[in-house]
Every structure is written in structure tokens, then in C-alpha cells.
Amino acid sequence: MQPFSEERTREAMSELNDIARALVAPGKGILAADESDSTIKKRFDSINIESTEDNRRAYRDLLFTTPGAEDYISGVILFDETIRQSALDGTPFPKLLESKGIVPGIKVDTGAKPLAGAEGETVTEGLDGLRERLEEYHGLGARFAKWRAVITIGKQIPSEYAIWVNAHALARYAALSQEAGLVPIVEPEVLMDGDHTIERSFEATSRTLQAVLAVLVAQRVRLEAMLLKPNMVLSGYACREQATHEEVADWTLRALRRHVPAAVPGIAFLSGGQSDDDADANLDTLNRAGAQPWQLSFSYGRALQAAALKTWSGDPAHVLSAQRAFAERAAATGAARRGALAEHRHPVPAA
Ligand code: 13P
């Protein structure tokens, strides 16, 4: 592979910047439908259906062919199996999405594995052979990529060791993605699991963002040509005192403003196991907190899909009602993205 010339680099990065900005366009955000085999099995277990290739294809077909979803969904993150599958009429999924003006993306990490010498902590794998895989995914139509690092809060953790090895891998992935013509979505997720307070989540999130941004710059990743996908700063699931939406927005913005340069075009939050209503209410509050240097958008998996998955429950007779549930949730999340959730829920009747 030829190294890029300076001019070619500038041109390529400007194309990536256009894609990044399209992904966080006003009122729009990303659907994460990139559940790995083990994760989709868990989701299907919850509705008592078997995780066969056919069922997985049918479920993704339902989501991607939902009429009107493209009004709120700018991009979809696919899994390796899904990017090779087709809709019922034979159109490959990436082509189908493109035809609706939705940018196809691809999960490229191979999962979080136990980190040697660090009990309870993980490092995300997938760097071996990544350059070749990225080239293949680009050929299959992907224009952005995702890599998720997982940071856990617990007794004495996260360690600096776990934070920095994960930051290093995220930056290696991001640099390779930009080289391959894909916008990297850089996802350092500080988990909600545990009984920690929101202050501890703020501290762990701040340390993580500081490391991730430092290593991205050190590894020559162009900040204009990437998106950040962080967690919101939240109380742990089991924390007795749950923070309000205003507190979540306040702590989240404080961490982001301290550590994320304005050159990054957008922040696409993950939902991370919040209920769909909480994820939307928090995104709405964040977008009502005044002007920020970056777009504040979403890249939700569970929050966008929960209602559709349950309504579908594997029954072909429920496809249309499941699509309605997905479209309704996408519209609500799109409204939250504009800070207009209240108006969406209670539209003023025409005079
Ligand atoms: P959740 O919104 O369900 O956290 O999923 C987003 C995602 O892509 C996790 O990697």
C-alpha cells in the first residue's frame, strides 16, 4: 500500500470530515445494529426466539426497511455477518441503506477480553489483520467503523494500565480506519454496572477521555475525521441515589469540555443500558444546555431497538407493528437530539 501524499491526505480527510458531519447532522444520529453473535443471542433469548442466521437477517431487515427511519437515522452500524446479508428482495443491506441516504458502518473490533495481570478489567482485541479487513469492508460499502473499549468501575479500578492499553488500541484502530477511507467511531465506554455515584463515573470518564484523546493525537489521528462515542456520565445502576437528567447533562458536559477538542465534529452517545426514555431524556437535556463546540448526537443500540424487538418477538405477523414501534422511538430520539422532546411528546394543536 502506498503511503498518502500530503495533498491526497488533505483531500481524503476532508471527505471523511463530510461523512462524519453527515452522521451527526441536525436531528439525526446512528442506529447501532452491530450486536455480535453472543449479544444478539442474549437479545433473542429475551423474546424466546432462536438466534439462527435467518432470524438475525429477518430482524435486521425489519429495522432497515422501516419507512421514514431515514428522517432520524443517518447511519447504521452493521456486524460482519450483516454487511454480507441482503433484504428479502435480494438487495444487499449496505446498498439498501445507501438508497435511503443512510451511511453503512461496520463494527471492527473482536470484543473485550480479560486483560493480563488486571483482574476484572478487559482490553479490546481485533488489531491483527485489521488493515486488510478494513479494505474489504470499504469494498462492501462501509464508510465508517466502530471499535468499543470497555472500562469498568469497581474497587480500585479502573487502573491506569487498563485505561492506557485500551486508549492505545482505540488509536491504532482509528489511524488504520482513516487510512482505509472510513470514519472511525472511537468508543470508550465506562460501564454503568455497579453502585458507584455519579461523581465516580465523572472521575473514571474524565481519566478515560484524557488518555484516549492524548493517544489519538500522538498516533496522528485527524480529529476532524472521527466521531467520539462516549458514555453519558451516570450514577451506577445499583447506586441508591440516582442523578437527575440535569445532573447527568452537567457532569457529562463538564467531562467532555475538559477533554475533547472542538476539532472533533460530533459526540454520538451510546445508551449503555439506560431505559429508552432515560436515554432520550438525557440526550434532550444535553441538547438544551446551550451551544457546544461539537454536535451532541446518539449512536444507540438498545434504546432504539428495545420496543421494536419486543413487539416483533420473532413473529412475521408483527413486523409492521414492530416497524411502527421503531419509527416512533427513532422520531423521539431525533427530537431529543434537537432538544425538542417535550414538543414531540405534546405537540401544540393547530389553531
Ligand atoms: P447501546 O446503546 O445499547 O449501549 O449500544 C451501543 C453500542 O454500539 C455499544 O457498542
pLDDT tens track for 81-104? 999 999 999 999 999 999 999 999
pTM: 0.97
Is 203 noted as a catalytic residue in this protein?
no
Q: What is the pLDDT of residue 7?
A: 77
Question: Do residues 113 and 122 touch, judged by C-beta distance below 8 A?
Answer: yes
Distance from C-alpha of 177 to C-alpha of 168, rounded to nearest angstrom: 14
Tell me: the pLDDT tens digits for 270-280?
Answer: 999 999 999 99
Q: Is 107 in the pocket of ligand 1 (CB under 6 A)?
A: no
Atom of ligand 1 nearest to the CA of 270: 2
Q: Is 270 in the pocket of ligand 1 (CB under 6 A)?
A: yes
Q: What is the pLDDT of residue 114?
A: 98
Pocket test for ligand 1, best of 144, 267, 302 (most atoms within 8 A of CB): 302
Is 224 noted as a catalytic residue in this protein?
no
Q: What is the pLDDT of residue 1?
A: 46
Q: Is 147 in the pocket of ligand 1 (CB under 6 A)?
A: no
pLDDT less than 50: residues of the chain: 1
Distance from C-alpha of 104 to C-alpha of 142, rounded to nearest angstrom: 5
Q: What is the pLDDT of residue 15?
A: 97
Taking the centre of ligand 1 as the mean of its atom positions, its distance from the CA of residue 58, in whole angstroms, is 20
- In the set 35, 187, 189, 203, the catalytic residue is 187
Non-local CB neighbours of 250 within 8 Å, separated by 6+ positions: 289
